Structure 1
Amino acid sequence: MNEQMRSALQDFIRREAGADHVSITEAKLLSGGSIQENWFIQAVVSGGHCGPELKLVVRTDAPSGVAGSLCRADEFALLKAAYDAGVTVPEPLWLCRDASLIGKQFFVMRFVGGVAASHVVVRDAKLGGDRRALLERLGAELGRIHAIRPPRADLAFLPSPGSSPALQHVARVRRFLDAHHTPHPALEWGLRWLEVNAPERGEVALCHRDFRTGNYMVDENGLTAILDWEFAGWGDPLEDVGWFCAKCWRFGGAGDAGGIGAREDLYRGYANVTGRRLENENIHYWEVMAHVNWAVIALQQAERHLSGEETSLMLALTGHIVPELEYEILTMTEAH
């Protein structure tokens, strides 16, 4: 972090906290966040209402992004809605819409400790406490997210899911594939399968749309926070369940729920909050959708690198998982 950005953030935090003086003593770019930047900030505060020391995370845009990712102001509004609904998220504190301050919009949330790295969470059995209890807790959290329903004046920026949330996804992916410079027949096949087998519109709720291992944090006792709300929108609640359980988000773990355990434990936690019993057959459709959507995002991530917008080995390597996803799509739709 350069001195200009540090000084601007100090002044911003001082104003928002009603403090006399703020001095940032530590600032470092956090790992993870393949689409946005997250900065850990530790500051000493004189006066105001936030105490003598603050540990914060400043979330702002990366040098390039992907289609469908919300702006920071919209993500801040979603974080507030989730926090107010009792979802375990970092406390949202302040939003800065003035891009001139540090060159882009940002918001500030309270720092929460824990580990989010998917490959670590899946393999280290000490993290998250009892895994069955962790999955039940995650199911309950998902139920609280889905209790947020339209219409909501504070979330008016979210587009309507239309007459069919599933077919809305199909149309969006088809537009991308039609405009893409390289054909992907397996994705086209998966898209046609999704179109033919689209479920009728049921209840509509707020969907996180990236609820998976890697986007929640745990410590040795259990869940500490659910992260990354930049893709959220109105949709079919089963979309989130399918995304969490999809094979592409198990990271080599043996469990079919996020690579950390059995989906029945997730389902039980969800039912405890919502009263709705989940069925595997209904969720299979959304697991196929998860693979198609992730394949498109992977192509977009690779384009960020190939276009020169943001040189990144991680983005380049992400593009190489597309054939694996295509194979899984063909396998999942073969007998259905």
Structure 2
Amino acid sequence: MEANAVSSLRQTILDNRAAMPAERVAAMLQHFSGAADVTVLDMRAPSSGGFSSGAQFIDASFDGGEPESLFLKFHGDAPVTSFHIYNLAGQFAVQKVMFDAGLPVPEPLYLDADGTFLGCSGYVMRQTGGEAGSAKAWCDGALATASPDDRDQMLADAIRQLVAIHALDKDDPKLAFLYEVASGEDSIEREINWALDLAQYHGLEDHRVASAAEALLSRRPAGHVDVVNHGDFKFDNLMFTDAKVSAIIDFEMTNVAPREMDLAYLLFVTRSVSPPDQPNPGWFPDVSQLIAMYEDAGGEKIRDFEYYQDLAAFKFSVMMVAFVPRLGLLESAPRMLDDYWHELERISSLGAATAG
């Protein structure tokens, strides 16, 4: 795709993030809340965010009461998004299960699954306060600016919350759709096929992706235990208040998979998006420390972690090489895409070495 076309596509997607008329939001809120009158006082798009959905902060008054702070996610008319599948009704269900289980997620309120009021699928939740973390955890965001004592508490609580996610009932009927995010005879094959489906959606055909997928399938460990995974567990999807997690957000990639995937994904993403000239300052946990934190927080024993590090590297690398160029994000990419291609080549070589 030519540079001008990419820039135009990117702007169209960004415009779509804010393209939701206030009268539609008011109609939705009035219907689901049962209020006789709803006044939308203010709507504003987030200052930053991804390309997977539209989003709006909303201040609204119900029957003349005090303004309430809400947040709307919706799937509008963007010609292309980050993900090949985007199930907002599913995200609402995940958030509701987590909220009911006592996890610190924003309270999900109203779902317009078929777009009767919004004109597209969407749902409203309560706003949750706190300071946002950053995917580049040691470079900026809540962790980077915290005192050492607060930072230790924030890291520990983040891992405690992950253990709590993994303790959810993966066979809850409300979460049955999590087994359908991709085809595959087991959760590992579903993880791999999800990435392959995403690559296909973005028109990426490259032998290095297919070869890495084959290598991972040939090496998959036996006897893995599946749990509910957040799927995109990284620090920019966490908010903190008083050195504790005040909100876990963004459930686009939630699935059922081995618990090791969330931990491996957290490590790989944090390392890979951080600039090379800003290495780990020493306080961010390494592999052994992260595993110890997880198990000390009540998590089950972590197994075959080296394999899951490769699987997480494959999944995130495919995401980067697939949609970063297509959505015109090269100038904001945290490191050259060559590095992600090198990861895929490395994983491919492991399969060849096993075969040999």
TM-score band, normalised by shorter chain: 0.7 to 0.9
Q: 1:142 to 1:214 in 2, by over 3 A?
A: same
Partner of 2:4: none
Q: Which moved more, 1:245-254 or 1:71-80?
A: 245-254
Equivalent residues of 2:95, 2:108 under 8 A apart: yes
Shift of the alpha carbon at 1:131? 2.0
Of residues 166, 174, 198, the one that matches 1:154 is: 174
State percent identity of aligned pairs.
22
Q: Quick one: which of 265, 274, 287 aligns to 1:251?
A: 274
| Structure 1: distance between partners of 2:190 and 2:325 | 23
Secondary structure in 1 matching 2:97 = helix
Root mean square deviation, CA, Å: 3.4
Does 1:169 pair with 2:201? no
Aligned match of 1:278: 302
What is the CA distance between 1:332 and its match in structure 2? 6.6
Change beyond 3 A, Cα 1:288–1:230: same
TM-score, normalised to structure 2's length? 0.77
Q: For residues 313 and 255 of structure 2, what CA distance do their matches in structure 1 show? A: 18
Q: 1:299 to 1:275 in 2, by over 3 A?
A: closer
Q: 1:105 to 1:304 in 2, by over 3 A?
A: farther
1:59 alignment partner, one of 49, 52, 73? 73
Cα distance, 1:250–1:224 mapped onto 2, change above 3 Å: farther
Q: How does 1:19-168 map to 2 (within 5 A)?
A: 19-30=35-46, 31-46=48-63, 52-61=66-75, 63=78, 64-116=80-132, 118=134, 121-124=137-140, 125-127=144-146, 130-159=150-179, 163-168=185-190
Partner of 1:301: 323
Task: Tell whether 2:246 aligns with 1:229.
Answer: no
8 Å contact 2:112–2:121 — kept in the other structure? yes
Paired with 1:275 and 1:182, the residues of 2 have a C-alpha distance of 37
Asked if structure 1 preserves the Cα contact closer than 8 Å seen for 2:84 and 2:197, the reply is: no
| Deviation for aligned residue 1:318 | 5.3
Specify every segment of 5 or more residues in structure 1 that has no aligned partner in the other structure, as ranges: 306-312
Aligned residues: 322
Q: CA deviation at 1:34?
A: 2.6
SS at match of 1:157: helix
Q: Aligned AA for 1:21?
A: D
SS in 2 for 1:130: helix
Q: Answer whether contact 1:256 1:262 (CA < 8 A) is retained.
A: no
SS in 1 for 2:96: helix
Amino acid at match of 2:173: A
Tell me the amino acid that sits aligned with residue 26 of structure 1.
Answer: D
1:324 maps to 2:344 = no
Cα distance between partner residues in 2 of 1:100 and 1:178: 31
Judge which range, 181-190 or 225-234, deviates more: 181-190
Give the counterpart letter for 1:91 in structure 2. Answer: E
CA contact (8 A) 1:254 1:261 kept: no
Does residue 288 in structure 1 map to residue 310 in structure 2?
A: yes
Q: Could you tell me which amino acid in structure 1 is paired with residue 150 of structure 2?
A: D
